[in-house]
Structure 1
């Protein structure tokens, strides 16, 4: 019943309770982001010239000296930033264990348009015993996408499309955590929403065929890429498993 309520809250966009395992970080000293009680602060300093190789996580926790931990290399990442939330562990051995998030991004420009996308990576962080250590990556999921693609190349196109001369595609995701159970990390609810404008447009189709109607000039959800999944932590692999495979939504998540 509790998990059903959490999933319902995710679908409705309800905020996560502050007392739950998913915590919103607050501004700390400089560019750091911290737990509300300031017992743990994290920062991912900008990399030089957009080179994400060698990016680090700076960790400052109560009772230990600040450290800089080298982050894993993220393939094709053009930008890296800290996700402004943290997931607490629970159960036996869960004290001082967390999942922090890294958002990796890519952008692409092309004639008459462009796009951007990001992915969320959850990585284990252990701050016990007076030191901080990185663990395994527990999850990677598409997080956001926004694309604008030119669709008019002549006056006839402008007329046929009622002067709506760009197709646009957007993708956004959210995570909600259920209360901690027996697993070291909580069950998560992942919701993805994809929209297209005009409502008939699909990036993988030839949208120049046919004429648009006034009723088409609205932004509408793409049901194929609007979905919910339940993620459960698997201690045998140190990763989250989806309850069923996610659809291929690269039309929205690859710029």
Structure 2
């Protein structure tokens, strides 16, 4: 690990689980921030980036706005670049983040973790927009996440797959495991992918996604990690009991 010059951290499941911080994680991250440039990546799409910063600060982490890369902010950047109108299937809070783009004649249907808004009315409205020619954008396409009660809950992936099937289309994924998403975070540190270590709890979006983008990876056994993840043919460079164990390797 001597070639490591920068660190990317997934947030939920790595720094905290549910409503509880990983014991010792704030001190570990603070120590690592003295040694390396650090960025924090999240596919969380129910809450706004500002809410994520507030939550991390409340847990005792010192995270600057420019160090946080969220699927929502990357999606907004995509729509801004395209100067495109959108129809969102998200929570009301997350949808408000895209108020400047909302249109009844969208160029893109944008889907995040809509929670209780994943109902027939919202999904069918999205389907009809796709049927009229709109493109499908997935802010993130995770299968599941660890909920506040400690159990796994469905994420947006299954609902996005339903829209892909009904709309006979494929979604453009903006957040992890998009190579572009990882490379934006890496470039912000002035580094190359093979100089950066990604630390996550999701074997697919964190580990395989980062590997495909040319990064080294560390999988933590907290959050959504399950023992069966190690049987999927995806091999991280490091396997850690929790984020604190990273101090022994860098």
Q: TM-score, normalised by structure 2?
A: 0.28
Q: TM-score, normalised by structure 1?
A: 0.27
The structure in which a higher percent of residues are helix is 2
The structure in which a higher percent of residues are strand is 1
Greater C-alpha radius of gyration: 1
